[in-house]
Each structure stands twice: as C-alpha cells, then as structure tokens.
Amino acid sequence: MNPPRRHLPLCIAVLGALAVTGCNNTRLEFQRAAAELPKIKAEIQAAGISLDLKDLKPNIRPEEDAYPLLEPVIKQTELFKEAKKAVKNQPNLADGQFLQTMKAQLPKLDKMLDQLVLATKRPSVDFRIDWDNPNPVAIDFTETTALKEATPWLCYRGIALAENGDYERALRDFRAARQLARYLGSVPILIHHMVSLALETTLTRALKAAAHWSRYNPGFLRDLNAILVDMQSEAHPGPRIVRGEMAYSSACFRNPKLFQSPEMADLYELDPKEWTEDPVKVDAFHASILSGSFAVLKIMESKRSHKEIILELRTEFERRTSKSNPVNALNRDLLLSYDNTYGLWIRRQSTIVLTQAAIELSQRWAKLGRSPRGVEHLGDKFVDSYTSKPVLMVERQGKVYIYFPGMDFKDDGGVVWVDDVEEVLPPLQPKQAPLGQKTS
C-alpha cells in the first residue's frame, strides 16, 4: 500500500539526510587517510627506503657496464622479431623440425648473438633508463622488448651447438642468456622482473633440450646442471621489486594529472578526473598505496615459510582492496597482486628442480633402454621448496611427466597450469633422427 501523501516530505528528508551523512562519512575517510601520508612516508624513509626514482639509477663503473656493448643489439630488435616469425611462439625445442627451421635463421643473427655474448662478459649494466623524467609514465623501457626478442635466440643457438657436439660454445651461449636475464632482473621494476622470468623459463627449457640433443653427454650434463644450480641459488627478488614499485608509484602521485593521460586512464576502473584535482583524495590514495606496499614488504621480509607468506599476502591484498572503504578504490587498480608475483618466483624454483630431475630420468632412460617405471629411486634428491614434496610421476598418452603439486598443495595428477609439470624426454635413437621427425 502506498504511504499517505503527507508522509512523502518526511521520507524525502530522511533519505536526503542519509545521503548527506554518507557523503560526509566518505569525505571523512579520505581526510583521515590523507592526514596519514606524512607519517607513512616518514616510516618508509626511516626503514631506509627511498621514494625517489633517481635513487634507482645504478652506480656502475664504466669498465663494468655492459650497456655500450648491448646497445647495438637493442637497436636491432626488428631483426629478431623477423626471425621469430619463422618459428612458433612456443616451439617444441626437442623437435627435429624446429631444429631445422631455427638453424636456417641463425646465419643472419650470428653477428648480433656474438655481440650479446661479448656484452655479458661484463658484470653489470646501466640501461640508461631516464629515472629523472618528471613523467614516469613516459619512461621508455626499450631494453625489455629488445632482450625479450634477442635472448631466446642465444638459447636456440646453444641447442644447435649441443646437437653438433660443440659443448663449449653451447655453454657459452647458455651462460650469456643467463646473464642477460640477470641484467633485466637487476632493475627493481615489475616489468623487468616479469621479462627476466620469461627469459629464464626459455633458458630452462633450452637446457633440457640441449641435454636431449647431446644424447646426455655426462660432462655436458654436469655443466648444464651448474647453470640450473646457479639460477636456483638466487634470493627471492620480491622485496626489491616492492621497493622499486613504491618509488615509481610515489613519483606518479607528485603530478596526479599524469593519471589522466591516455596511457594510464584506460587502465583504471576509477575515473582519474574524479580525484586527480582533489588534493585530499590524491593524498589519501597516495597514502593508501604506500601503506599497502609497505605492509607487503614487511610480509615478504618475514622469516615465515613461502606458503605462509603467500597466504598472508593474499589476505592483505583482499583487505586493501575491499570495497567497504572508499579509500581502497584506487588500490584495486594500482596495488599489485603481490601474492601472484611472489608465487611466480616459487614456481620458477619448482621448475628448475623438475628440469634437473627430468634430465636425470631421461639420461637413465637412455642408459637402460626403457622408460622410467617410477621415481622412488630418486628418494628426496629432488624436493619442491614450496610444498616440501618429492617429485611425482604420471604417464599420459604414451608420454612420461613428472610434477609437483601446485600452489594449492593439491595433487591434481600432473595437470599442466595447475601443477608444476615437466615432460621426461625419450632418448634419441642410436642413429640421429632425421630432421623433421618429432622425438617427443
């Protein structure tokens, strides 16, 4: 039944009062958050963390800087892109057809690949990133694209050299690829970290393929394993990346109108025009991003297990992006999902161990002349640092796979993208398989 007409003015007044109260409360939340900005900045700086992008510039002696030697290759990115068109984006590195196609591309790339090898003899690199740019959005990270295109070809050439029995030069190329990934990883920004991880994934797959094409030469396998051990020994880069991203985001907030630029505006759910000209909201969002990142950093630097850290990072992200607090609105766009970032590194470590185990099992297969019947004989030699579980094995469609349970700790039977999975490659036939014939 409709309320009596005489009650309508009262209803309208009550609703209007509630709306005003809601707006006032929202404004109060922003004011409180904005007032916290100086305190948060002071805490961060007291922890020895700089929020100045200029401090990300490496201090490298000229004779140790690889950039002058890398620059000619960086300018030839299109050469590598053109060569990539001839091979699949995700090639089967143990396939004879791929080997043939890849070898056909090498003559036009050899000069630039040799230049990369020369550059990696230097221990460090300054990519000449314009950290002084008042517009961080306009900073050009050309090196990420260039090395993403060029480095896989060092891995591919290493495979070809291994297949030809030229193990010394193959190892030279693999070590150079490792160093290039390390160069990118030295820049504490997420995009560099992600490209570095992608290059290391390619390198790890290439090392397994090189072992396969070398017919599991024992001395060569020891040297390949040394590269994997070196990769595995690296400390988790998460805290360093968080520090770099804090400086980058803080630099953006110094000129809030940058968020209105086409490069950034399309990335966010929240319309930049709604807050970038309101100093209170700018400071509130700035404080929220910094406090969230600082909390993430403390979690990553705790002495807890990887599992505990990932679970706490996930909880923190959910809390910081909750819609119950209006100040969290920008966090949903800007505060990185650090549990996933942290987890990617853990999966990298798992993949390295699986690759070591897969090479050993393939070598045993070649020696005994039969496929593995199980992995019990490996004992605890290959254990996942995340789940603390030994390697598991499954046969599927005539192929042998080994795996670790995924980030959820559940054994899904070696399901790709859920568990961490590697194929155990069958050995080559006594005589070289004809080019074009698949071996796995």
Range name among 44-58, 164-178, 193-207, 411-425 with the lowest pLDDT average: 411-425
Region 169-177: mean pLDDT is: 98
Domain carrying residue 81? 57-234
Alpha carbon distances (Å) from 156 to 163, 183, 344: 11, 19, 24
Per the domain annotation, does 400 fall within a domain? no
Cα–Cα distance, 312 to 183 (Å, whole number) = 30
The domain boundary residue, chosen from 234, 260, 282: 234
Q: How confident is the model at residue 22 (pLDDT cuts 50, 70, 90)?
A: very low
Region 231-250: mean pLDDT is: 95
Per the domain annotation, does 393 fall within a domain? no
Please indicate, yes or no, whether residues 266 and 161 belong to a single structural domain of this protein. Answer: no
Per the domain annotation, does 113 fall within a domain? yes
Q: What is the tally of structural domains in the chain? A: 2
Cα–Cα distance, 159 to 171 (Å, whole number) = 9
- Helices (H), strands (E): how many in the chain? 16, 3
Question: Which pTM does this prediction carry?
Answer: 0.90
Other Cβ atoms closer than 10 A to 17: 10
Per the domain annotation, does 21 fall within a domain? no
Per the domain annotation, does 110 fall within a domain? yes
Residues 356/225, Cβ–Cβ less than 8 Å:
yes
Please indicate, yes or no, whether residues 225 and 247 belong to a single structural domain of this protein. Answer: no
pLDDT in tens, 55-114: 999 999 999 999 999 999 999 999 999 999 988 766 789 889 899 999 999 999 999 999
Q: What letter does residue 438 receive in the DSSP assignment?
A: B
Per the domain annotation, does 4 fall within a domain? no
Is the pLDDT assigned to residue 274 strictly greater than 90? no
Please indicate, yes or no, whether residues 184 and 323 belong to a single structural domain of this protein. Answer: no
Please indicate, yes or no, whether residues 104 and 246 belong to a single structural domain of this protein. Answer: no
Q: How confident is the model at residue 376 (pLDDT cuts 50, 70, 90)?
A: very high
Please indicate, yes or no, whether residues 275 and 145 belong to a single structural domain of this protein. Answer: no
pLDDT in tens, 385-403: 888 999 999 999 999 999 9
- E strand or H helix that includes residue 403: strand 399-404
Cα–Cα distance, 144 to 189 (Å, whole number) = 11
Please indicate, yes or no, whether residues 66 and 140 belong to a single structural domain of this protein. Answer: yes
pLDDT at 269: 73
Please indicate, yes or no, whether residues 171 and 317 belong to a single structural domain of this protein. Answer: no
Cα–Cα distance, 332 to 24 (Å, whole number) = 23
Is the pLDDT assigned to residue 25 strictly greater than 70? yes
Alpha carbon distances (Å) from 209 to 53, 182, 193, 372, 440: 41, 21, 24, 18, 11
pLDDT at 17: 43
Q: How confident is the model at residue 12 (pLDDT cuts 50, 70, 90)?
A: very low
Is the pLDDT assigned to residue 278 strictly greater than 80? yes
Region 335-342: mean pLDDT is: 84
Please indicate, yes or no, whether residues 132 and 167 belong to a single structural domain of this protein. Answer: yes
Please indicate, yes or no, whether residues 94 and 166 belong to a single structural domain of this protein. Answer: yes
Rounded mean pLDDT of the chain?
A: 89
Please indicate, yes or no, whether residues 181 and 200 belong to a single structural domain of this protein. Answer: yes
The domain boundary residue, chosen from 336, 362, 379: 336
Please indicate, yes or no, whether residues 146 and 39 belong to a single structural domain of this protein. Answer: no
